[in-house]
């Protein structure tokens, strides 16, 4: 019994033709998908813009005052952050010039603000609450002023941005669903 081994040869031309056909089908699919998503997004954006214009026309002066107060508070946070970032940049410039890090601990601001006060005297020569004085002193000496400005600054800015987004979204849906 002579069993001949009939192996089919791999046809590169057929394989490439199928690959090109698959790629062309994929290209057509993604073109149609893109066209459909584009049409849906344009329709959705035009409807959203119409809703926004309708809601904005019904805003009250209190809405603008509330928005302005939140925005000013958020900008105050951004300014605090920028001051901290500027101080850090100044420290980095000094380090690049001299090779030594210039420290600005929080204690410098404490001394400036509370010089010749009872709190300052207690910090220098405590007679009671020694543990609290040590904790307070460690905190003021170890926290850099730039970090003490940047963290609260960015926290205030992000918190106010979140409140503004929630307030605007709530007010938008409130005005959109109102029947006048």
Q: What is the pLDDT of residues 116-134, one digit of tens each?
A: 999 999 988 888 899 999 9
Q: How far apart are CA 153 and CA 85, in angstroms?
A: 10
**Domain ranges across the chain:** 12-57
Convert the pLDDT of each residue in 125-167 to its tens digit: 888 899 999 999 999 999 999 999 999 999 999 999 999 999 9
């Amino acid at each position: 019994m002579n069993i001949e081994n009939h192996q089919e040869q791999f046809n590169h031309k057929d394989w490439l033709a199928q690959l090109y056909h698959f790629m062309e089908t994929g290209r057509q699919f993604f073109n149609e998908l893109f066209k459909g998503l584009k049409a849906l997004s344009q329709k959705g954006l035009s409807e959203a813009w119409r809703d926004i214009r309708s809601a904005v026309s019904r805003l009250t002066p209190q809405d603008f005052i509330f928005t302005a107060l939140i925005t000013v508070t958020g900008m105050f946070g951004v300014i605090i952050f920028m001051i901290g970032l500027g101080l850090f940049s100044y420290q980095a410039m000094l380090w690049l010039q001299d090779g030594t890090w210039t420290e600005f601990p929080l204690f410098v601001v404490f001394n400036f603000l509370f010089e010749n006060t009872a709190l300052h005297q207690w910090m220098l020569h405590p007679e009671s609450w020694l543990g609290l004085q040590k904790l307070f002193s460690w905190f003021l000496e170890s926290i850099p002023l730039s970090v003490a400005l940047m963290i609260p600054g960015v926290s205030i800015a992000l918190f106010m941005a979140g409140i503004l987004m929630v307030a605007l979204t709530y007010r938008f849906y409130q005005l959109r669903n109102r029947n006048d």
